[in-house]
A and B are shown apart, each in its own frame.
Chain A
Amino acid sequence: MKLDSKIPQGPMAEKWSNYKANQKLVNPANKRKLDIIVVGTGLAGASAAASFGEMGFNVKNFTIQDSPRRAHSIAAQGGINAAKNYPNDGDSIHRLFYDTVKGGDYRAREANVHRLAEVSNDIIDQCVAQGVPFAREYGGLLDNRSFGGAQVSRTFYAKGQTGQQLLIGAYQALMRQVNAGTVDLYTRTEIVDIVMVDGKARGVIARDLVTGEFQRHFGHAVVLATGGYGNAFFLSTNAMGSNGSAAIKAYQKGAAFANPCFAQIHPTCIPVHGEFQSKLTLMSESLRNDGRIWVPKKKEDAEAIRAGKLKPTQIAEENRDYYLERRYPAFGNLVPRDVASRAAKERCDAGFGVGATGLAVYLDFKSAIERLGEDAIRARYGNLFQMYEKIVDDNPYETPMMIYPAIHYTMGGIWVDYELQTTVPGLFAAGEANFSDHGANRLGASALMQGLADGYFVLPYTIQNYLADDISTPRMTGDEKEFVDAENEAKAKFEKLLAIKGNRSVDSIHKELGLVMWDFVGMARKKEGLEQAIEKIAAIKKEFYSNVRIPGSGEGMNVELEKASRLADFIEIGDLMARDALHREESCGGHFREEYQTEEGEAQRQDDKFTYAGCWEYQGEDKAPVMHKEELTFEVVKVAQRNYK
């Protein structure tokens, strides 16, 4: 496998301009002859499909939901970063680029990140033109806030629903193209395989989730914008339908899967309450701007709280351990997500956790309410407090919130070059689905930025460079052998699942996988644990293929069948994550290996050995994958140990 990142020549700040100046283009008459398949309708997928349609390509856009507007991008609360420097506080493209590379713990590709920072400003302009109702000042200009420990205020937001508003902007642009006839929308339709013709991606096999019928679709190129694979953990902040299946299909067709172990754990989620919990709810990171995180200083207090004998409000100030402020005086409660998450786990593991399970810490607004008044806090976080109260039945104005880390975002994903093309020619990946610009850790408010950058401003250029060579490739009908074979293969997989007729529900096996992932491939990993995890996952796989029970048939809607086929792929992803985590003998970003930490418990990178992206190549059913390296070189950014003290 050859990993050619295709980074353009020239100084960092000129690479993207140089690329655009020299790339191949497709003229308008030829665009009409070219078909592009876009899988997914989140920020990356909808923005890409809409942009391709506007340019004159024929687009087929697929979503598993009933509407493009349901994609999980919609749930992002906080905001979107851009280097506009409207507040005049010293921001610039270079600073956004630098912060993103540093925040990613120096495991991202510099050229991609710089391009991301460059187009960030265009995204805001585009969204405003679409009618995204960003928050404004009384003067009528856009408001910015600081987010996730950035030293500048560069985050644009629309109440606590920024993801929703950006997605609706992209969705509206998409529906405009549907109306214009340039985009064919396939809702409640899932991609079950990618069709390869002469070594290139030329289409997909889709399954209509309502009728259960299989469909063959041709495209000169295929774009996967299918999001992350955090649901391998069963419990995560992802939506119930979020899955990694398209990514796994790509991987099995020869696309390298990069850095699968880089998963972000978000520190401020509502803790798990019971065994039937289906998902974890995120509370916006912005809460950390005013909330103070603590656990009791004395173990006996923590035990009394867990037993329900003591209330948090009864713990005197001097008996509280504001551990983030204690450990990181410079950043305090605003340390990056990975640091905050690990610190919470450390306290809970040491026996200071609160809540019935002992797996929670307090996020306290008492001092903020004293300082600013309850009304000010209500104005800032009212909707979040209400959401918390609905779920937990506790009033956060009176008693501190309980939070605990949860899986939130996956930085790893399908490996792509500078053009967002995978190692399979004609197959592209965008948004969270690719291994992205976030390295080993993503900064707050950067996911929305990356999704839209890929869809609006990167793919519309780079895909032309590929398609320019395809203008005389005729459309295929879908009756070619490759398509028929792929469909038969996909059908066989579904029939195999239906034929198992075992005793266990899909969810019960998924939960088992999730527990293994959380215990061994979660916030803190170590060699023995990861080795165990690989064995356990293999056992779960065996259990799944021999004992899963899927009621009903392949005809008509069958939700359990959908879930089973996704779980089969999550099992592959879980294995891949464990393997990657095992091989990466360092701690960086979202990946923390207990063997590699400083005396104070901080993450320790091994730059001399691991300054690369680990890219896994599929070798076939039940064969161990092979790892290839894309070495990362840093021309501009000075690699240093992150320090938030």
Chain B
Amino acid sequence: MSTIFGSSIGRKLLMSLSGLFLVVFLIIHLSINLLLLVPDGGQMFNVAANFMALPLIKYGLQPVLFAGFIVHIIYAAILTAQNNKARGSAKYASGNNTKDVMWASKNMFVLGLTVSAFLVVHLIDYWVPLQITHAAESITIDGVEMHNTYALVNAAFAESWRVILYVIGALGLTIHLTHGFWSAFQTLGLSNNIWRKRWTVIGIAFAWIVGLGFSLIAILQFAFYQ
């Protein structure tokens, strides 16, 4: 066990596991966000979002989530650096004309950087006012006081530039996932000639559901919920 993460496959294992962990996070995140579209003035969304304030979540799971991101990002950087070294300093003058290779698979690091940049904006927009500065306004629902997360989101999506930014971020994530999802299972060894096709289809479907889901929420918020 000791040396497993020192090996190339071990490093990939960390990418795979952290990636799948983040996929689970995305599922939860999207499920809650879909409540933004419930026309109840944000009540259900606020209640659902408030679970983030639970101590177990805030001090227990949130650090794990951060760790997941950090492992995923740091190992991506390590792997990319090692791979560039393995490729060698001499580049092909005639480029690469290999066909039938998914564009995303060759640009995961760049896509990852895009997603990370978006993540920073996203954290500043929501995580900081909700969890750090508590600058977000409060609301009381069924006797429980909580942040009015809905108002925060709704206000943010009133601005068209932010909607565009979020759509771009979501699409970057989509493309990242079209390769990342099936690749995670391949790395775990949970693939063969049959399952590879299945994972690819499931992965692409999942990626677009996530990407279009987040995008639509932002667009609809902008267009119909102001």
User: Is there a contact between chains A and B in the complex with CB atoms less than 8 Å apart?
Assistant: no
Question: B residues within 8 Å of A by Cβ?
Answer: none
Question: A residues within 8 Å of B by Cβ?
Answer: none
